[in-house]
Structure 1
């Protein structure tokens, strides 16, 4: 799997937090630990998925296999050459009539509707992604830890106080990472 050099990762040797930060900084610690015989799990910080790093060769070779950080695209609104993608939209005639009567026409009205829907769904979507990522992480690293089942139930129930209590006995790195990942679910008030 190719990993961007700036992708946020965290790595665990057993239940011990080994490293966290951009991939370029984490892979050296992972390589050193695996060369010393430790079993290491590396996670994508955003999704909670296990990341499979190609650790063949020395640290320089491993770093060379990371993909460079993508440059920010300098695109904005406007015609296709400026970043707009034309796609087909199928609507009923009454929808087209309403859109064409809007200030700025159909395109402006559709963009405003989509932006409003994105803003409205942002909190619940972020909460769902946080819960899913936390669950993936907890399952991969902490399925055998005391209180795991209760923590999982409380994660999806949205009860952060019981979640924190259920994870209290976990090793510090695992506990703090799980709590940090789950924080997005609590902040949005979505249970």
Structure 2
């Protein structure tokens, strides 16, 4: 699998943290552990999903497979340099009338509405994503550890103190990674 070289990863051999960092930087440690016969489990720090990396061959071959090929420039409708993509939207006639009456026209009004909604949802979305990512990570790596069920309940209940206590007995790398990933769930105060 190719991943962006600037993607933040956590890698474990069993419950031992062997690498934490950008994909390109962590690859040497991952490759060394895999070459030594250790089973390596790699996680995307943002999503908590397991990342499947092809570590076969020597380090330079593995690095070559890690870096995605450059994307060919696509031509089509919209403003490609700005990343604008044309798509179909279905609305009621009164919605189209309101949009058409807005300064700048329909597209500008829609972009402003979407940006406003994104700003309003930023805190709750960040908390939800942090909880989901932490849950994925914990389920894959800590599901058999003592306190896992309590940690999971406290993660979704938004109780940082109880979560912190539930993960306290976990191996250092697993505990600190779970705490780091869950930090975004507590920051906005919504729990």
TM-score w.r.t. structure 1 length?
0.89
Between 30-39 and 166-175, the greater mean CA deviation after superposition = 30-39
Please name the residue that 1:33 is paired with.
33
d(CA) in 2 for partners of 1:190, 1:69: 41
Please name the residue that 1:120 is paired with.
120
**1:80 pairs with 2:79:** yes
RMSD: 1.9
Offset of residue 21 of structure 1: 0.7
d(CA) in 1 for partners of 2:67, 2:46: 18
Between 85-94 and 132-141, the greater mean CA deviation after superposition = 85-94
Note the alpha carbon deviations across 1:31-51, whole angstroms, 9 max, x for none: 111222222211111111111
d(CA) in 2 for partners of 1:82, 1:37: 46
Between 60-69 and 120-129, the greater mean CA deviation after superposition = 60-69
Q: Secondary structure at the match of 2:89?
A: coil
Q: Secondary structure at the match of 1:17?
A: strand
Contact 1:6 1:69 in 2 (8 A): no
| Distance of aligned partners of 1:175 and 1:69 in 2 relative to their CA distance in 1, 3 Å threshold | farther
Offset of residue 68 of structure 1: 4.7
Please name the residue that 1:185 is paired with.
185
Please name the residue that 1:76 is paired with.
none
Offset of residue 81 of structure 1: 4.2
| Distance of aligned partners of 1:32 and 1:81 in 2 relative to their CA distance in 1, 3 Å threshold | closer
Contact 2:43 2:49 in 1 (8 A): yes
Please name the residue that 1:155 is paired with.
155
Q: Secondary structure at the match of 2:53?
A: coil
Name structure 2 gaps, 5 residues minimum: none
Name structure 1 gaps, 5 residues minimum: 74-78
Contact 1:142 1:174 in 2 (8 A): yes
Offset of residue 87 of structure 1: 2.1
Please name the residue that 1:11 is paired with.
11
Please name the residue that 2:164 is paired with.
164
Offset of residue 179 of structure 1: 0.5
Contact 2:49 2:136 in 1 (8 A): yes
Q: Secondary structure at the match of 1:19?
A: strand
Q: Secondary structure at the match of 2:91?
A: coil
1:33-182 paired onto structure 2 within 5 Å: 33-68=33-68, 80-83=79-82, 84-182=84-182
d(CA) in 2 for partners of 1:50, 1:89: 34
Note the alpha carbon deviations across 1:22-68, whole angstroms, 9 max, x for none: 11111211111122222221111111111111111111111111125
TM-score w.r.t. structure 2 length?
0.89
Contact 1:5 1:69 in 2 (8 A): no
